Structure 1
């Protein structure tokens, strides 16, 4: 397969840059895309090549990202930093589908990645770029999952990692990973958006490579979520993708990847995308619903810590993708998120709170008549259930009253005497 020429292009003004130097933003301040020239590329041959790599046991193509290398990043295999990420399962939604009112609902579980979230798909590509540019240290601002992933990939590649997190506002399941993988963890007095401003300044002034989703290579790796779903469905395109929205890099990547497949003729139908935000952290939903200019949410609040972001850096790219696919944006309450989570967990699948915005949002859109109950829908679960165990226990013990969340479907643990009769009574 021949190399597909690529460059960086500004989303806002269209200015292009070659890949010879590190760059995250355009001179005008806009974010950058990795764009490709598809002239002369045979989409059918590309799809055939990807199918031939399915099931590879070792090497670069055993990764559920680098299997699609031609549309990820043209780079020598020796530069690739991989943990055989991807290859996550696509589950029938079971009870969660019944709850959402959908007959053909599938859940793509990105929590099955090496560090337990979809971030690994972007991080393999971002870390590879860091290695290509000769970086010795990488950094990110994080609400948890990005820090866990970056610390792991930095450790694998021999780089140092520096993590900026909001003090006291990160789930322990995620903080534990960052510390265990050796990340230098700095807890700042402020929220995620404050951390994001600081890390950009630090990387600029201290010559550290930035690995937040403003990094254009991160987005390229995350496109593979959509590629893999389609390959698992034998390239039959679903009617809808439903995906949580925090920093908005994930749905940006999904729409970008689908558009590339459409341009290449690999798919002939454009699926719609629904981005679901937590109501207390919903700048894109506010903009979308009220048809007003984008405004950041200054003090975002939600139990879904992975999407507790008031000023997402990828909102312009996200909006562009939604317009291309005739997508929608919705928000869901804390109660809706945790009730949906209870259904995902009860289906035997399980996911962290932010993931379950997909199911809560799908239910809300079905009830509003936006999604047809007969439609084929794929919801993206972004993180593992063990990322935030406190939220699980708090819900099932009905101890989240301070957050105005009831344990609607609580499965309370019981304390009993250590006797057969006590067990019999409990089971009855």
Structure 2
């Protein structure tokens, strides 16, 4: 395992690469593995055998794939809540809404803290513990902070969270507080907090766990490993993922590269990265045919987890996801996101707004003819239904913002004849 700068190409050893994993040129560091000596068939059998593990690190849907994620980490440093192991659900109703023949939904909302962040955070915190850190930090609009606070508390460590004043979900903030994190709210955007962390965290003894930390990316690769494993190493035509900080998109691309090079899969699927229209600098760059991202200084979307104007991992996403795969980007409106969320919720699976961007994006790409309606797809749902209850209230109960697919909520006295009429009318 070695490190390489995504900007200048400089290589560093494990001992040379240190928190916050920024090269002297300012570029992010990436982890490179040498899998040439790996026996793929033996490893497949090992992964299968670990499905029966209980109460060991290998019961985790992340650490099950340890050899492909962090092979050098001693087991005693692993901080795990048996994350991963999330459901992959077929939904004919959501498939019909998206306009595609077959759709499965990967519910990362079933992770211990309620989001996909756990897949990466277990690795970042575990490696930080290995290095001797006891204080961990992140800048977050919500999911990253609650995941970090959970793993830090589990490990008997402290967490310090830099929180933008606006564009956040209070549910996630309360979850973070409940796990005992120290929250520092500041005026400005997510990007301002990231710049502060880059500059000052090491001097304060804080181990940075944002997506600039390459171990986060390595852990998040397990999402695509698990999807492929659940589908017996036969991936669909398309994988669709929301794009905020773009760490998930990067991990998806890296994971696909690993699986293809190792011979676990025989072909690479197409990838679609979906951004919210009010925070879509990566899509704007790709649509214009440019290779330099122009940050958005005032991103704005109801999907708070996507409210990022300068995604830290955009260069990695370009390298690992856009270039090697047949990939596309698309942006969707908040209305499209919330309508798609209503369909996912009503399908009995549920998700937060940012998650539903994947379904909204799939629907839009099918309607545009980019994705054939006879294709198969997996949409990654990144966060839990209850991560943003204000969004549910606004969509279903607020008369000013009630959505197209709002559920029926009616005040009534318990009069048998009227209730019967109500039930009959709802058939």
TM range (shorter): over 0.9
2:55 pairs with 1:58: yes
Paired residue for 1:20? Answer: 15
Q: Unmatched 5+ residue regions in structure 1? A: 1-5
143-152 or 257-266, which moves further after superposition?
Answer: 257-266
- Aligned with 1:422 (options 406, 418, 422): 418
Query: What secondary structure sits across from 1:296 in the alignment?
Result: coil
- Counting only pairs closer than 5 Å after superposition, residues 31-46 of structure 1 correspond to structure 2 as 31-46=28-43
2:407 pairs with 1:411: yes
Paired residue for 1:81? Answer: 79
2:113 pairs with 1:118: no
Deviation at 1:40, TM superposition (A): 2.2
Superimposed CA distance per residue, residues 110-169 of structure 1 (whole angstroms, 9 cap, x where no aligned partner): 000000000000000000011011001000000100000000000001110000111143
Paired residue for 1:179? Answer: 177
| Counterpart-to-counterpart distance in 2, 1:324 and 1:168 | 36
- Aligned with 1:30 (options 10, 27, 32): 27
- Runs of 4+ in structure 1 deviating by more than 3 angstroms, as ranges, are 398-401
192-201 or 239-248, which moves further after superposition?
Answer: 192-201
Superimposed CA distance per residue, residues 175-212 of structure 1 (whole angstroms, 9 cap, x where no aligned partner): 11100000001111112111222222231321210000
100-109 or 289-298, which moves further after superposition?
Answer: 289-298
- Aligned with 1:10 (options 5, 10, 15): 5
Q: Unmatched 5+ residue regions in structure 2? A: none
Normalised TM-score (structure 2) = 0.96
Contact 1:105 1:376 in 2 (8 A): yes
2:112 pairs with 1:102: no
Distance change in 2, residues 1:400/1:146 (3 Å): farther
209-218 or 14-23, which moves further after superposition?
Answer: 14-23
| Counterpart-to-counterpart distance in 1, 2:179 and 2:375 | 42
| Counterpart-to-counterpart distance in 2, 1:40 and 1:84 | 28
Contact 1:110 1:383 in 2 (8 A): yes
Contact 2:92 2:102 in 1 (8 A): no
Contact 1:398 1:410 in 2 (8 A): no
Contact 1:341 1:353 in 2 (8 A): yes
| Counterpart-to-counterpart distance in 1, 2:278 and 2:419 | 43
Deviation at 1:421, TM superposition (A): 3.0
- Counting only pairs closer than 5 Å after superposition, residues 267-306 of structure 1 correspond to structure 2 as 267-292=265-290, 293-306=292-305
Query: What secondary structure sits across from 1:312 in the alignment?
Result: coil
Aligned length: 419
Deviation at 1:424, TM superposition (A): 2.2
Deviation at 1:255, TM superposition (A): 0.6
